[in-house]
Amino acid sequence: MNLIYDIGNTTNKIAIFDNAEKVLSIRSKAFSCEELGKMLAPYQIDKGIICSVKNLPEFIYDLISVNIPKVHILTNKTKLPFKNEYETPETLNPDRIAAVAGAFHLYPGRNILVINAGGLVTFDFLSGKAYKGGNISPGLSMRYKALHRFTGRLPLGTSLEKYSSPGKNTLEAIAAGVTNGLIYEINAYINAFQENNIDSMIILTGGDGGYLKDRIGYKVNYQPDLVLSGLNHILEYNEKKS
């Protein structure tokens, strides 16, 4: 079995895969040593991979590597099943490359726009067997926080399931402005991508993906576990290449 540990900007995710099948998935703001120990105890784990967009705490690697024979940390030196054409791979957040790996594994050879809507929104472009790069934009929570922090009187807004546009009050106005602004942005990216790429598809993932998927004006393939699946695929690929 494989352990997948994804440390994001706001959320940590742990998953266990038996070959390509996910048998456990848990997310939390943070995991303590005791929690990690209890989660891993029932499973016979052969290898693991850690993906972190922040500096990796030493205790995480020490705790995991004590009981798992092979632990891989995803870096720009990691072997990938596709060509990485990003000019500064050392600055590329590993969760972006993991999402692309998940898309490549699910739909090899396709032209894919991967939209990862979390703390940030990233737009990554996969063309056949080559990762072409992508763009980075503020996510929903960052937009709400920016409006609150950099103005004198605006309250801290939040995503609403229903809101009027134009907004009938300040909270609605913020929710409509932030949500619609991001949706318009996503729709424009999709439109440009589909105009320039034949046999293309759109994959949406990330913590805000579930909220956005039915609001986007285009058909998208919603894959909430894309990063976890991609990390599992990278782990298996590097095992074969070692």
Q: Is 62 a catalytic residue?
A: no
- Rg of the chain (C-alpha set): 19
Burial class (CB in 10 A: 0-12, 13-18, 19+), 83: exposed
Distance in Å from the first CA to the final CA of the chain: 18
Sequence letter at residue 205 = T
Sequence letter at residue 190 = I
Q: Give the three-class secondary structure for 142.
A: helix
Task: Single out the catalytic residue among 95, 199, 208, 214.
Answer: 95
| DSSP structure class, residue 87 | S
Q: Name the strand (E) or helix (H) holding 50.
A: strand 47-52
Sequence letter at residue 206 = G
Backbone angles phi, psi at 22, to 5 degrees: -80, 125
Q: Give the three-class secondary structure for 84.
A: strand
Backbone angles phi, psi at 127, to 5 degrees: -120, 100
Catalytic residues, which ones? 95
